[in-house]
Amino acid sequence: MIYNIYGKTGLRVSAVGFGGMRFDLKQSQQANADLLRYAVDQGITYLDTAPGYCEDQSEDIFGLAISQMADQRENLYVSTKGMPEEFDTADKAIAQIDKSLTRLNTDYIDFYHVWCIRRWKEYELAMKPGGQYDGLLKCKEQGKIKHIVVSTHLRGPEVQDLVSNNEFEGVLLGVNILNFLYRWEGVQAAHKAGLGVVAMNPLAGGIIPQSEESLAFLAGEGETPTQAALRFCISCPEITITLNGFTTKEHVDMACNVADKATPFTDADIERIRGHVTDKMDKLCTGCGYCMGRCPVDIPVSNFMQYYNEKLLMNKTEEEMVKQLDFQQKWLLLADRKANAADCIQCGRCEMACTQHLDIVRRLEEMAGWEKMLENSQQKD
């Protein structure tokens, strides 16, 4: 494992972080806690969770593992989060931190995130007098949290504004080998301002391992596209920690192996990738699920958007997408849907929630056209 200094905090943290959003819930909490302890045994010291992750079990799994590693607590960096929209007063923010401390079985949280700033008004909400940030400052004074950090889906210039006021010691950003050309400004701004920079979604929410064939151009000699994607973030001097959502020991091993030999991308590597990456790669659905459960007509927005990824990633034609729709509806992402793309009433709630700022309504309109084409072709058959 390699270790990096987390911005101005001076803390030495593992370059690979354990992301607690992809536990296998078919396994027991103890089995998942064992996975976390296994990762720590491999040298991972940065452990990131949040309320709500994994059907709200992630913090409890972390708490179980932490109670079983009490003798190692001072070498570990535990991170969790709270959203300004939900905890919009200092009192609510403090109560939430107390809850996380209990669930995590710990007396302090190392890194506490103002979570999921998608729009500037969410930052303003967090910072209003008597708001979440004031609550975090109180908790910091009391030693309940050590460092106040932020997670954001804002783009370049806004990230620059976000990090310019010395309010945060680190920032968690969605950056990876497919979208870095469009997200780099934010990474550089945070790095220059002396913040720790944590990369989330290094595998684009699982898109890279699932699409290795069409993304073969990412890989250097002797590595897979997935390994290349991990190497890209782990070896990047501007990125302090690369968060990986682990499900199995094999996932942990792969990330640790990459970190053991991580050689940074050369200019030639970057040029090779630049030749293939278009702004379409900045518009992929990462499957984060923040849009789910909000649709008044029960459209499974994330599933539709992940199906749409195929058009962006593989340049599929309309005809190919219609053919794939049939398959998706019968067997895959859309098999359990309660509503079709054509049912969208364009209320915009899903777009407000989308971390990637996707034009969901327009895409659903396009997909409604494909639904119609599929229906017509089925009637002819």
Listed in sequence order, the residues at least 6 apart from 283 whose beta carbon sits closer than 8 Å to its beta carbon are 312, 356, 358
Q: Render 318-338 in DSSP notation, one character per residue.
A: HHHHHHHHHHHHHTSTTTT-S
- 355 binding ligand SF4? (CB under 6 A): yes
d(CA 52, CA 60): 11
- 149 binding ligand SF4? (CB under 6 A): no
Kindly report the number of other CB atoms within 10 A of residue 362's CB atom.
11
Which has the closest alpha carbon to 229: 243, 240, 250, 246?
243
Q: Give the number of residues in contact with ligand SF4, rule: CB under 6 A.
A: 30
* CB nearer to ligand SF4: pick between 261 and 294: 294
**Smallest distance, Å, CB 304 to ligand SF4?**
8
- 31 binding ligand SF4? (CB under 6 A): no
The interface with ligand SF4 within residues 298-317 (CB under 6 A) comprises 299, 301-302, 305
Which of 2, 25, 137, 361 contacts ligand SF4 by CB under 6 A? Answer: 361
**Smallest distance, Å, CB 24 to ligand SF4?**
20
d(CA 338, CA 261): 47
**Number of helices (H) and strands (E), helices first, in the chain?**
16, 10
The amino acid present at 55, given as its one-letter code, is: E
Contact assessment for residue 229 and residue 204, using Cβ atoms and an 8 Å cutoff: yes
Residue 81 main-chain phi, psi, to 5 deg: -150, 160
Listed in sequence order, the residues at least 6 apart from 119 whose beta carbon sits closer than 8 Å to its beta carbon are 154
**Smallest distance, Å, CB 81 to ligand SF4?**
16
d(CA 108, CA 98): 10
**Smallest distance, Å, CB 341 to ligand SF4?**
8
d(CA 126, CA 133): 6
* CB nearer to ligand SF4: pick between 200 and 322: 200
d(CA 355, CA 188): 20
* CB nearer to ligand SF4: pick between 12 and 294: 294
Contact assessment for residue 251 and residue 227, using Cβ atoms and an 8 Å cutoff: no
- 117 binding ligand SF4? (CB under 6 A): no
d(CA 84, CA 115): 7
**Smallest distance, Å, CB 108 to ligand SF4?**
31
* CB nearer to ligand SF4: pick between 254 and 285: 285
* CB nearer to ligand SF4: pick between 11 and 291: 291
Contact assessment for residue 246 and residue 279, using Cβ atoms and an 8 Å cutoff: no
* CB nearer to ligand SF4: pick between 13 and 358: 358
**Smallest distance, Å, CB 226 to ligand SF4?**
20
**Smallest distance, Å, CB 179 to ligand SF4?**
12
Query: What is the x/- site pattern for ligand SF4, positions 334-353, by CB under 6 A?
Result: ----------xxxxxxx--x
* CB nearer to ligand SF4: pick between 271 and 359: 359
d(CA 248, CA 245): 10
**Smallest distance, Å, CB 363 to ligand SF4?**
9
d(CA 371, CA 85): 36
- 151 binding ligand SF4? (CB under 6 A): no
- 354 binding ligand SF4? (CB under 6 A): yes
Query: What is the x/- site pattern for ligand SF4, positions 260-299, by CB under 6 A?
Result: -------------------------xxxxxxx--xxxx-x
- 358 binding ligand SF4? (CB under 6 A): yes
d(CA 92, CA 200): 27
* CB nearer to ligand SF4: pick between 262 and 299: 299
Kindly list the residues in this chain that would bind ligand SF4 in the complex (CB under 6 A): 285-291, 294-297, 299, 301-302, 305, 344-350, 353-356, 358, 360-361, 364
